[in-house]
Amino acid sequence: MSEYLLEARELTKEFPAAGKKTVHAVSGVSLQIRKGETLGLVGESGCGKSTLGRLLIRTLQPTSGEVLFRGQSVTRMKDSEFKPLRKEMQLVFQDPYASLDPRMTVRDLVAEPIETWKLYGSREEVTERVRELLRAVGVPEEFLHRYPHQFSGGQRQRIGIARAIAANPSFIVCDEPVSALDVSVQNQILNLLKELKETRDLTYLFISHDLSVVRYLADRVCVMFLGKICEIGPTEEVYEHPRHPYTRFLLDAVPVPDPAARGKQIHLLKGEAPSPADPPSGCRFRTRCPYATERCAEEEPALQEEDGVRAACHCAGKW
């Protein structure tokens, strides 16, 4: 019996790209998620975080490596074997406008997972359950027969969340669930996600480019750069003492809502991110890293553990 709810072993996903190139979206990622914890996944666009999220819930199949759910290899299962596990792993989308069918009412949208899994028999029971779910996510029940376009972004995201939790999953991937929302509404949704996690015994993978959002929700955080994990460990430890230079740059680049912080000279990352179709040799971050040495070009750093944090850098914490 595994102590982890979900485990990724050497996951790799490559996509074919123009000109016979391959995009290395995710390269050899291994990570574990314990039951009941929230793992934050941060990184910039194109670092493979969304791909990784979809690999974990098997909406994408990896090129190599495997995903274990409750100790069973999900990757090697046949579709029919996997089917009962489908409802255990759900996803909350970034864009609440695109992820809800515009021609379905709120009732039908939220009822869809319940009907798919035949959790309740009669139509009345299903509707009653939909009402319960809407109450749980804070959408007034009397809007049952409205269409998505009649709601604001925050309300739509609540509906998306109701759909995700409708079949009582145990693991939810939240793919940038608040980045399309206004600041004040964003906090409402974050509060809701936190509350649901406690009341419904959920485990989250929380993907975001916003470091403060991840800091708020995540127990542990994983920083990705160009398809690889740079650093993974308990959130406070990583934020306070980043061991990988890239984590430091990410943290420094976030604009602070305090004009007094302006004078403080921040470390700025120079240049452009390398292309995932043509990653540099050795450490993938070395072309932008001010501390890079010859060794970084030749030898790829492995994840090394120190005080519960694993970082992939030859001079972790010593730069």
Partner 1 sequence: MLRTKQKRTEQAADLRLQSQIGEEERFGDLMRRMARENKTAVISFFVIILMVLAAALAPLLTPYEENGMDLLHRLSAPSTEHLLGTDEGGRDVLTRLLFGARVSLLIGVVPALLSLILGAVLGAIAGYRGGIADAVIMRIADVMLAFPSMLLAMVIMYALGGGILNVFLTLTLVNWANVARVVRAQTLKLRSSEFVEAAQIIGVSRNRIMRRHILPNCLPTLLVLFTLNIPASILTESSLSFLGLGIQPPNASWGLMINTGRQYLYNTPWLCFAPGAAIMLTMLAFNFLGNGLLDVLDPRMQKQ
Partner 2 sequence: MNDRTLEVRNLNVTIRTDRREVRPVNDVSLDVLAGSIVGIVGESGCGKSMTARAVMGLLPYSGKVDGGTVRLCGREITALPEKERRKLRGSEISMIFQEPMTSLNPVIKVGKQVEETIRLHTECSREEAKEKTLAMFREVEIPEAETRYHCYPHQLSGGLRQRVMIAMAMVCKPKLLIADEPTTALDVTVEAQILNLLEHLRDAGTSVLIISHNLGVIARVCDYVYVMYAGRIVEQAATEVLFGRPTHPYTRGLFRSVNSLREGSATLETIPGVVPNLFRLPAGCSFSLRCGQCGANCEKNMPELLETEPDHRVRCFLTEKEDAE
Least distance in angstroms from the C-beta of 161 to partner 1: 12
Among 34, 209, 237, 319, binds partner 2 (CB under 8 A): 209
Cα 275 from Cα 286, distance rounded (Å): 13
Q: Select from 79-87, 91-99, 122-130, 253-261 the region that touches partner 2 (CB under 8 A).
A: 253-261
Q: Which does 100 bind (CB under 5 to 8 A by kind): partner 2, partner 1, none?
A: partner 1
Q: Is 77 in the site for partner 2 (CB under 8 A)?
A: no
Q: Which of residues 98-137 bind partner 1 (CB under 8 A)?
A: 98-104, 112-113, 116-117, 135
Q: Select from 26-34, 96-104, 180-188, 197-205 the region that touches partner 2 (CB under 8 A).
A: 180-188
Question: Six-digit token pair at 187?
Answer: 């906090």
Q: Select from 83-91, 260-268, 291-299, 305-313 the region that touches partner 1 (CB under 8 A).
A: 83-91
Residue recorded with tokens 């959920």:
202
Q: Which of residues 285-314 bind partner 2 (CB under 8 A)?
A: none
Q: Is 195 in the site for partner 1 (CB under 8 A)?
A: yes
Least distance in angstroms from the C-beta of 282 to partner 1: 36
Task: Give the three-state DSSP class for 263.
Answer: coil
Nearest to 26 by CA among 284, 248, 299: 284
> Looking at the chain, how many residues does it have?
319
Cα 295 from Cα 227, distance rounded (Å): 20
Q: Is 61 in the site for partner 1 (CB under 8 A)?
A: no
Q: Is 216 in the site for partner 2 (CB under 8 A)?
A: yes
Q: Which does 163 bind (CB under 5 to 8 A by kind): partner 1, partner 2, none?
A: partner 1
Question: Six-digit token pair at 112?
Answer: 């869809």
- Binding track, positions 154-193, relative to partner 1; x by CB under 8 A: -x----x--x--xx--------------------------
| C-beta of 185 vs 315, nearer to partner 2 | 185
| C-beta of 1 vs 183, nearer to partner 2 | 183
Between strands 228-234 and 38-42, the pairing is unpaired
Cα 116 from Cα 62, distance rounded (Å): 26
| C-beta of 135 vs 270, nearer to partner 1 | 135
Residue 295 φ/ψ, nearest 5 degrees: -60, -35
Query: If you write DSSP's letter for every residue of 18-45 in order, what string do you get?
Result: TTTEEEEEEEEEEEEEETT-EEEEE--T
> Element (H or E) spanning 258, and its range?
none
Number of residues this chain uses to bind partner 1 (CB under 8 A): 40
Q: How many whole angstroms from its chain centre is CA 81?
A: 25
Taking residue 61's Cβ as centre, other Cβ atoms within 10 Å add up to 11
Query: If you write DSSP's letter for every residue of 167-181 in order, what string do you get?
Result: T--SEEEEESTTTTS
What is the binding site for partner 2 (CB under 8 A)? 44-45, 152-155, 182-188, 190-191, 209, 211-213, 215-216, 249-250, 252-262, 266, 268-269, 271-273
